[in-house]
Amino acid sequence: MNTLTLKKVNPGKAMLCLLTLMLPAFVLKAQVKKHKYVVIGYVGGYKGLTDMSMVNPEKLTHINYAFVNVHNNRAWLTHEKTDTTNFRNLVLLKKKNPDLKILISIGGWTWSKNFSDAALTDTSRRAFAASAVNIIRKYKLDGVDIDWEYPGLQGDGNVVRPEDEQNYTLMFQALRAELDGLEKETGSKKLLTAAVGGFQRFLQHTEMAKVAQYLNYINLMTYDYFQDGQGIAVHHTNLFASNKYQTQNSADKAVSDYIAQGVPASKLVMGIAFYGRSVMVKDSAQNGIGMKTGEHIWVGGYTHLKDSLLNRNGFTYYRDSSAAAPYLFKASTKQFITFDDEWSVKNKCQYMVDHQMAGVMFWEYADDKKEYLLNAINERLK
């Protein structure tokens, strides 16, 4: 008769074997938890003192303070008294989120006029870089964001030179060198980012593959596409090309174009609009999409759109599924409104994840004080 002999098992060895078997699952879980997408919010201080208590730092990874001016080849606080107060109040938000990073954003649509001068020579670039880094040194901030709208293009009455293309790259080289020096002083990482045009003309006037080596993140301004509508009503922040008109721009095209130029997807940040654009159209066909336009109308941020106009006051809500873009149309007055909402934001977040991008950013926080869209971002990326 066969006898089954039971061997005494060492408890320590048994536990070791169990842990070894479970290790891959633990490692996978740790890797998933470790990966965190950036959520970058632009917070405006360009109008003066801003109530920073509206900002929820636990829903953001980065705040880009807008804007610092460019004056006499220097980064310049035009509203120094209110800017410095805003800086102090932003830094206080780190009590709730110690990992929060706060950057100054230099330029913007209005204050990009003098970038070409500041970037023109080695001397001017070094002076500009030193002045920018001195601001973040003084106020204990975390980095610099450049929003030059746009190198080699007129923008809002900019100084424009053919040399802007190369000087744009050299400006970031100078900034990175200056930030590296501050890192050695403080022992903490300092960030360099850029807000860039989400359209092909921007790439034609820059060397983004070279620029990317100096940047932590590249914030794609995949909005305000209405400006290139060529006299017809188009989506201003669509994810994909629409089949309702001949699309020139979309977030998808911008991402593809940047990657084709040699920019790593891992540095690209998807842009989201927290505000709407509106125009009167000449015809009610297609609920206004693709129709000839007339007067542009101010409609404000998403909180206002959702609370006051969404299926209210004669406006009807529609979705252009081909573009992953919502819109409102008021047939009685032929008013067309284009914007991002929770649905389009979740689509953009999913696209960002699928394409292994760095995260999302938005302009600007005050346009959605009830955080409808920020909550949608956090829900998808949590």
CA distance 227 to 234: 9
What's the CATH number where 82 sits?
Answer: 3.20.20.80
Q: Is residue 324 part of a domain?
A: no
Classify burial at 208, counting beta carbons within 10 Å of its beta carbon; exposed 0-12, middle 13-18, buried 19 or more.
buried
Structure tokens at 204: 């034609």
If one counts the domains in the chain, the total is 1
CA distance 212 to 17: 46
Q: What is the pLDDT along the chain (382 residues), one digit of tens a residue?
A: 333 333 444 545 544 444 444 444 444 444 444 469 999 999 999 999 999 999 999 999 999 999 999 999 999 999 999 999 999 999 999 999 999 999 999 999 999 999 999 999 999 999 999 999 999 999 999 999 999 999 999 999 999 999 999 999 999 999 999 999 999 999 999 999 999 999 999 999 999 999 999 999 999 999 999 987 789 999 999 999 999 999 889 999 999 999 999 999 999 999 999 999 999 999 999 999 999 999 999 999 999 999 999 999 999 999 999 999 999 999 999 999 999 999 999 999 999 999 999 999 999 999 999 999 999 999 999 8
Is 163 annotated in the active site? no
Q: Which domain holds residue 152?
A: 35-273+340-381
- How far, rounded to the nearest angstrom, does the alpha carbon of residue 145 sit from its chain's CA centroid? 11
Strands (E), the chain: 38-44, 62-71, 74-76, 101-108, 143-148, 191-197, 217-221, 268-273, 277-281, 293-297, 316-320, 325-330, 335-338, 359-363
Classified as helix, coil or strand, 251 is helix
Q: pTM (2 decimals)?
A: 0.91
Q: Is residue 329 part of a domain?
A: no
Name the nearest CA neighbour of 249 among 318, 302, 320, 197: 197
Name the nearest CA neighbour of 154 among 219, 230, 205: 205
Q: Is residue 111 part of a domain?
A: yes
CA distance 269 to 265: 8
Residue tagged 């209005």 (tokens): 110
Q: Is residue 362 part of a domain?
A: yes
**Structure confidence at residue 228 (pLDDT):** 75
The CA-to-CA distance between both ends of the chain, in Å, stands at 62
**Structure confidence at residue 26 (pLDDT):** 43
Out of 58, 149, 183, 379, pick the active-site residue.
149
CA distance 109 to 148: 8
**Structure confidence at residue 229 (pLDDT):** 72
Q: Is residue 10 part of a domain?
A: no
Q: Is residue 176 part of a domain?
A: yes
**Structure confidence at residue 35 (pLDDT):** 61
Q: Is residue 27 part of a domain?
A: no
Q: Is residue 353 part of a domain?
A: yes
